[in-house]
Amino acid sequence: MSQYRVLIDAYDEKGLVNKVSGVFYSYDLNIMSNSEFVDQENNKFFMRSVVDGDVNLEELKKSLTDILPSNTGIEVIEPKKKNIIIMATKEMHALGDILIRHEAGELEANILAVVSNYNDLESLVQKFDIPFITISHEGLDRSTHENKIIECINGFKDVNYIVLAKYMRILTPRFVETYEDKIINIHHSFLPAFIGANPYKQAYDRGVKIIGATAHFVNNNLDEGPIIAQEVIHVDHAYGWRDMQRKGKDVEKIVLSRALKLALEDRIFVYANKTVIF
Amino acid sequence: MSQYRVLIDAYDEKGLVNKVSGVFYSYDLNIMSNSEFVDQENNKFFMRSVVDGDVNLEELKKSLTDILPSNTGIEVIEPKKKNIIIMATKEMHALGDILIRHEAGELEANILAVVSNYNDLESLVQKFDIPFITISHEGLDRSTHENKIIECINGFKDVNYIVLAKYMRILTPRFVETYEDKIINIHHSFLPAFIGANPYKQAYDRGVKIIGATAHFVNNNLDEGPIIAQEVIHVDHAYGWRDMQRKGKDVEKIVLSRALKLALEDRIFVYANKTVIF
Amino acid sequence: MSQYRVLIDAYDEKGLVNKVSGVFYSYDLNIMSNSEFVDQENNKFFMRSVVDGDVNLEELKKSLTDILPSNTGIEVIEPKKKNIIIMATKEMHALGDILIRHEAGELEANILAVVSNYNDLESLVQKFDIPFITISHEGLDRSTHENKIIECINGFKDVNYIVLAKYMRILTPRFVETYEDKIINIHHSFLPAFIGANPYKQAYDRGVKIIGATAHFVNNNLDEGPIIAQEVIHVDHAYGWRDMQRKGKDVEKIVLSRALKLALEDRIFVYANKTVIF
Amino acid sequence: MSQYRVLIDAYDEKGLVNKVSGVFYSYDLNIMSNSEFVDQENNKFFMRSVVDGDVNLEELKKSLTDILPSNTGIEVIEPKKKNIIIMATKEMHALGDILIRHEAGELEANILAVVSNYNDLESLVQKFDIPFITISHEGLDRSTHENKIIECINGFKDVNYIVLAKYMRILTPRFVETYEDKIINIHHSFLPAFIGANPYKQAYDRGVKIIGATAHFVNNNLDEGPIIAQEVIHVDHAYGWRDMQRKGKDVEKIVLSRALKLALEDRIFVYANKTVIF
Q: Where are the domains of chain C?
A: 2-77, 82-277
Q: What is the pLDDT of residue B51?
A: 97
Which residues in chain C are closer than 8 Å to D14, comparing Cβ atoms? Answer: 25, 28-31
**Spatial distance between the Cα atoms of D213 and D232, rounded to a whole number of angstroms:** 6
Which stretch of DSSP H or E encloses residue B228? strand B227-234
Q: For A245-259, how does the pLDDT look when each residue is reduced to its tens digit (9 = 90+)?
A: 999 999 999 999 999
Burial class (CB in 10 A: 0-12, 13-18, 19+), B58: exposed
pLDDT for D191-215, tens place per residue? 999 998 899 999 999 999 999 999 9
Contact A165, A85 (CB under 8 A): no
What digits encode the pLDDT tens for the residues C16-33? 999 999 999 999 999 999
| Interface residue C21 vs chain D (CB under 8 A) | yes
pLDDT for res A114: 98
Q: Which residues of chain B fall below pLDDT 50? A: none
Exposed/middle/buried for residue A203 (C-beta within 10 Å: 0-12, 13-18, 19+): buried
Calculate mean pLDDT across residues A170-174. Answer: 91
Q: With an 8 Å Cβ cutoff, are C17 and D17 in contact? A: yes
Give the model confidence (pLDDT) of C211-234 as tens digits.
999 999 998 887 899 999 999 999
The pLDDT tens digits of the residues spanning C133-167 come to 999 999 999 999 999 999 999 999 999 999 999 99
Contact indicator for D63, D26 with CB cutoff of 8 Å = yes
Assess whether pLDDT exceeds 90 at residue D242.
Answer: yes
The mean pLDDT value for A146-155 works out to: 96
Q: Under an 8 A CB cutoff, do C93 and B104 touch?
A: yes
> Which chains have 3 or more CB–CB distances shorter than 8 Å to chain C?
A, B, D
In chain C, residues with a C-beta closer than 8 Å to the C-beta of D30 are: 14
D237 to B191: CB separation less than 8 angstroms, yes or no: no
Q: Please indicate whether, in this complex, the C-beta atoms of B18 and A15 are within 8 angstroms of each other.
A: no
Which of C19, C20, C23, C25 is the best mutation test for D, with the most CBs of D within 10 A? C25
* C2-77 shares its CATH topology with C82-277: no
Give me the pLDDT at residue A223, please: 85
The backbone torsions φ and ψ at residue C173, rounded to the nearest 5 degrees and listed phi first, read -50, -40
Q: Would the CB atoms of A25 and B18 count as touching at under 8 Å? A: yes
CB distance A95 to A165 below 8 Å: yes
Q: Is A158 a catalytic residue?
A: no
What does the pLDDT read at residue B223? Answer: 85
| Whether the Cβ atoms of residue D171 and residue D160 lie closer than 8 Å to each other | no
Residue C130, classified by CB atoms within 10 Å of its CB into exposed (0-12), middle (13-18) or buried (19+), is middle
The angle, 0 to 180 degrees and rounded to 10, between the axes of the packed helices D241-264 and D199-206 is 130
Distance CA(C265)–CA(B51), nearest Å, equals 51
CA distance D93 to D166: 9
CB proximity B127 to C under 8 Å: yes
CATH topology of domain B2-77: Alpha-Beta Plaits (3.30.70)
The pLDDT value given to residue C278: 97
The pLDDT of residue C1 is 77
Burial of B154 per CB tally in 10 Å (0-12, 13-18, 19+): exposed
Q: What is the mean pLDDT of residues A75-90?
A: 98
CA–CA gap between residue C58 and residue C76 (Å, rounded): 8
| Total Cβ atoms within 10 A of residue B152 | 14
Q: pLDDT at position C216, please?
A: 97
Res A242: pLDDT: 96
> In whole angstroms, how far apart are CA B121 and each of B86, B165, C48, C95?
12, 12, 37, 20
Nearest to A233 by CA among D210, C249, D255: D255
Which element (helix H / strand E) includes C100?
A: helix C93-103
Q: Residues C135, C148: contact at Cβ < 8 Å? A: yes
Separation between Cα atoms, residue C21 and residue A261, nearest integer Å = 54
Residue B187's alpha-carbon distances to B26, B213, B229, in angstroms, are: 45, 6, 11
* pLDDT tens-place string over residues D62-86: 999 999 999 999 999 999 999 999 9
CB of D4 closer than 8 Å to CB of D78: yes
Q: How many angstroms separate the CA atoms of D125 and B196, rounded?
A: 46
The answer to whether the peptide bond before residue A173 is cis (omega within 30 degrees of 0) is no
Residue range C50-71: mean pLDDT, rounded: 97
Which residues of C fall within a CB distance of 8 Å from D209? none
pLDDT at site A17: 96
As a whole number, mean pLDDT of residues A174-181 equals 91
Residue B117 and residue B142: Cα distance in Å, rounded? 12
pLDDT for D222 beyond 90: no
> What is the pLDDT, as a whole number, of residue A222?
76
Q: What is the CA radius of gyration of chain A?
A: 21
Topology annotation, domain D82-277: Rossmann fold (3.40.50)
D152-182 residue pLDDT tens:
999 999 999 999 999 999 999 999 998 989 9
pLDDT in tens, B153-200: 999 999 999 999 999 999 999 999 989 899 999 999 999 999 988 999
